[in-house]
Amino acid sequence: MTDQTHASRYQVIVLNGGSSSGKSGIARCLQAVLPGAWLTCGVDSLDGAMPASLRGGGDGLGIGADGTVTVGPEYRRLSNAWACGVAAMVRAGARVVLDEVFLDGADAQKRWLHALDGLDVLWVGIRCDPDTAAGRETARGDRMPGMARGQAEAVHRGVRYDIEVDSAGAEAMACAQLITEHVLPCA
């Protein structure tokens, strides 16, 4: 590791935004512009690791025909364990860009605050107007229609950020550069 690797005091960068808001692209750009190695972890990785039995509602993750998402108790239990696992990686020396969707706004942030207690975290809101997010959702073709529009504002309710970026009005790299200015003291 070089001295530049530790130029940032932050160990975790949490990107919170709705579906199709551009978080994953921004996370990849952050990996490209930040010094040192940063891992990306995201809710999509967690969802992909869940057994099929927890992808149909009930105790797991449910996605309604209108794109609404519900979280059952077993999914929540495993999600909390996963958050503790991400925090353990950071405590072991990894730096992480976390790509998240706070489905229940401030309550989700509280769970992450608990898991990341004692770590230096930069909280980033990824804003994207509902029409732009819905257009991206349609272009992707892998999301239930309505999910992006429904989450565009809801995921931010009651959440406190260090910085917010507008991914509808800027490309992923431009958003990453704005975030980098807060991460690095002389960016």
Q: Which residues are catalytic?
A: 44
DSSP structure class, residue 156: T
- Return d(Cα 121, Cα 74) in angstroms, integer: 27
- Return d(Cα 174, Cα 187) in angstroms, integer: 13
